[in-house]
Structure 1
């Protein structure tokens, strides 16, 4: 059938099972937005209008991470498109599947520095899996189908589709195509095959699997390191838990691996790296076999690659061949999807046990937590854990509060901890929390943020209030850029340059200005009372927590030093 290409775009979204879009309209994308009214797509696809395009990008990302679906974000040309770039990069570094759809100026105006024209495909090329500029109406449907396939396949990630405005006003033939039939569809199938490097996951080599089994058989002190790849791989977590319980060895996690191994599991040693636990960091230093699954060995994990796991044979399991030996030299690797690799290992792995090794690892105790008249960060997280029975989805910004969440909240499932791990995006939290809440109605979603981060995108409170998205915002307010101050305190001889946040706003009154109830808490009992009220309210809520200006994340390893060289215990 023949129809407007703007309508074809909407039909393609429905083919993909899209039920929610986050976005912000503008001149070049108006033909697309008109379809919400003209043909009633507003009754089939929910559109969330955010306060800023960056908020929309983070919301689509949070939705994707919390649901496992592909997130979708709309924006107009020029500044609308460039406002997405931080969100695109955030999704790219954490392998989150989001399709960003922008519309550019008409084809006859491209390249002429036209009003609100920008080469968004050129700008976003390094931070997307793939991107497109659509100039041919007949290609739009298949380009959109391919974009979704690439976003969700292999190592997931963001894809951008930019459409010239004149294309959205044109007409083209549209043939409805169920999602299951896409790989076998003529021209689309050919396009998908051309993109096979993105769409086909290699079957793990049987010899590589056996080599790892042999290495396990000879190991005396193995350590498993789990990263975000296990979270992103569909169905990998049950296989992972079978693997670690059969191996019965200590398990450490990167920040992106939170939820793969339950935080209260007897084998779990905690986070590893710059703010890793004593048990995890010392275990990595003394293990004789390190099995890393779905992690990148970033500089926050392998703080000094040359000295990381110096006594171990390092085995790296990853879907992306480009990650192998990129940061840390390995002794063996297996290329493949985490779920499939673990499935093959579990089929042949006999039960093991390492009682003396585990006893040594878990003998490394953490610093005792303070309990006194003031409110401490761990008390905030412990209270959230207790009140929600550990079932809340925690979304963070970046900084001290992010590390405290990773350390003190016991995540138990994929999608329960949503944070910007790779790109470290301040301002990520509120948008991502809204996306997570929209995708998980009925779940308690808590945005944990710092006063510095919250200022960056607090205008999205109007979005949460308007759509009644029940995000509970908990501000760890230490009146400073906490993590930067911690570095200044420990490394820069207390030269606190430009980190004091001795200014407004009054966060409670700001929330009230947006029609959201706010409270303050200075003790654990005050916070518990306020948080219980927030959960019971079932609507957006804000709690400002007064914490010590010099509260620090314990422990800490300086950048570029071995993970056991703690400068802060």
Structure 2
């Protein structure tokens, strides 16, 4: 099978056909042909020929991060927020191994990346030479596919294959490891007219039609259901399927809950949206999962933070699972209606086949709306003490839910998911599956470069902010106008919460009182720094930050003892939800 993507330039449109050039020049020409407008990277000895070629190419944009992990997280944020494939570049040995956490982050969340590493010269491979590391072997479990380039003549084809693999099917990171001598070798540049990947069925979407019989079965199941529920995950956003999902919701009037990775696929103000489910999900969403008789999961992999204890997840429901990866169907939750395929194409076919009118679910909808009204997300407000939930609500209100919000991992991540009113797909950039601290700030840099006309807000904890704070230098150097909100509670808040609620406070290694003055740290890098300790100060400095044309860091000094509620403790079922702290919202355990 040979498959030529329509969006790829025809060979005649690629300059320099037939010229004898180096492998480094071939690499850059192929990246430009793939529409790459920015590469995030850090140089080293094994990639110097590539950097030399960049220097002579005015069409090529490179952003020098201050750590390789910052580079791959920035490429990741670029990819998630734009829908394009992100690209990063690092040298051999420690440069390549510093990318591993970022590769695993993208792999867990199905993010399309092309990760390019240099390696030592071919004749030194396997000799334990200086800065040699088997990065292909190290990353095989966390990449969709890996290449070790042995011949310069193969490089153009490999680049095309890598972008096809990264951006089709279940998307993910592709590693290309190139020995130094291959980047220096000279050969004739020939743009590959077609690519043939034996056994890769997603190379040609038209060869993977949706099973119409299964769609008819699903429509019949919806028609006979009294309490149907949609669970929309990140696969909907990756497939650019939010529009057809909304059409399906409007036609069927089925209530919907969206996972952390699916937030934004349904606007937060939609009358059928119940919020996020799972460990820190809303009461209405979790009760809907407990009571539904038909669960339609679209582009969701039934992560343990969504299902919690499996025997308490959708116990009365017939499950329809729509996913692009057949390996995910039945892996955790048995599905009586499995449908393999791209989420957008499946929903498009469903919308075309739905009967008119569709059965009314008014009673079921009203029962869920009642629960949403009776048990909303809430916290105890204060006019003196700055609450983290208040900060997120303020950011949401002042950006009208239209900003791109990136987060690190921890309590602030959950507060952002709960209290920011996401209205659009690709507006939340967060590490879901791997839960990578240090991800939030550099991913915001990538998101801002990919979306120069949008407001990008990076929400970070004081712990995660210190893991990639050196990337403040990029914001200052390039005047990247990211607004950096540090939710500073002087502790590892989520660890503290788990210790208090699950482990009876037996451990206490969570104090971050030795953290830097974040305002001075920002100013040291040449970034404007502001601080707020009360609600009124927060409003004033945030307003100032939004008016500032360049980057701004705001140190929001918040309550140290605030916890994230609701919460379903680890090892418990969705029924065992804690709505709030004792004496406030009390505990509720359902049957």
Q: TM-score when scaled to structure 1?
A: 0.96
1:247 Cα deviation (Å)?
A: 1.3
Mapped partners of 2:203, 2:489: distance in 1 = 44
2:34 to 16, 31, 41: 16
Q: Structure 1: 5+ residue runs without aligned partners?
A: none
SS of equivalent residue, structure 2 residue 563: coil
Superposition map of 1:120-139 within 5 A: 120-139=135-154
CA contact (8 A) 2:431 2:439 kept: yes
Corresponding residue for residue 30 of structure 1: 48
CA offset at residue 241 of structure 1? 0.2
- Sort the Cα spacing of 1:283 and 1:111 in 2 relative to 1 into closer, same or farther, 3 A: same
Q: Give the Å deviation of 1:199.
A: 5.7
TM-superposed deviation, 1:540: 1.0
Residue 419 (structure 1) aligned to one of 393, 416, 430? 430
Structure 1 residues 561 and 202: CA distance shift in structure 2, 3 A: farther
CA contact (8 A) 1:383 1:528 kept: yes
Query: How do 1:379-418 and structure 2 match up within 5 A?
Result: 379-418=390-429
C-alpha distance after superposition, 1:364-387 (max 9, x if no partner)? 212543222211222112211222
CA distance, structure 2, for counterparts of residue 540 and residue 260 of structure 1: 28
Once residues 233 and 512 of structure 2 are traced to their aligned partners in structure 1, the CA distance between those partners, rounded to angstroms, is 34
Match status 1:209 vs 2:215: yes
Match in the other structure for 2:261? 256
Aligned pair partner of 1:366 in 371, 376, 396: 376
State the alpha-carbon separation in 1 of the partners of residues 150 and 318 from structure 2: 52
Give the 5 Å matches for 1:262-273.
262-273=267-278
Please state if 1:144 is matched with 2:159.
yes
Residue pair 2:377, 2:418 contacting (<8 A) in 1 also? no
Deviation of the 1:194 alpha carbon: 4.6
Q: Contact 1:63–1:69 (CA<8 Å) still a contact in 2?
A: yes
Q: 1:198 to 1:93 in 2, by over 3 A?
A: farther
> Pairwise mapping of residues 61-140 of structure 1 onto structure 2 (< 5 A)?
61-140=76-155
- Number of residue equivalences: 555
Change (3 A) 1:544 1:165: same
CA contact (8 A) 2:202 2:208 kept: no
Aligned residue among 298, 304, 310 for 1:305: 310
Question: Contact 1:202 / 1:335 at 8 angstroms: preserved in 2?
Answer: no
**Cα distance in 2 for residues equivalent to 1:386 and 1:295:** 29
* 1:305-356 Cα distance to aligned partner (Å, 9 max, x none): 1221001101100000010011111121110100110011111223342111
The one-character-per-residue Cα deviations of 1:126-182 (angstroms, maximum 9, x if unpaired) are 1111000001111011011100110001111100000011111101111246xxxx5
Contiguous gaps of at least 5 residues in structure 2: 1-17, 581-591
Paired position in structure 2 for 1:6 = 24
Rounded to whole Å, the distance in 2 between the matches of 1:175 and 1:216 is 53
- Would the aligned equivalents of 1:273 and 1:557 in 2 still touch at CA under 8 Å? yes
Say which SS state the counterpart of residue 163 (structure 2) adopts: helix
Aligned residue runs from structure 1 range 551-562, under 5 A: 551-562=562-573
Q: Does 1:331 align with 2:336?
A: yes
Q: Distance in 2 between matches of 1:380 and 1:98?
A: 32
2:286 alignment partner, SS class = helix
- Whether 1:225 and 2:225 are equivalent positions in the alignment is no
Q: Please identify, of 357-366 and 54-63, the stretch whose mean Cα deviation from structure 2 is larger.
A: 357-366
Instruction: Specify the alignment match of 1:343 in structure 2.
Output: 348
- Name the structure 1 match of 2:8: none
Q: Does 1:514 align with 2:525?
A: yes
More displaced 10-residue stretch of structure 1: 210-219 or 370-379: 370-379
1:444 Cα offset (Å): 0.8
Contact 2:146 2:174 in 1 (8 A): yes
Over the aligned positions, Cα root-mean-square deviation in angstroms equals 1.3
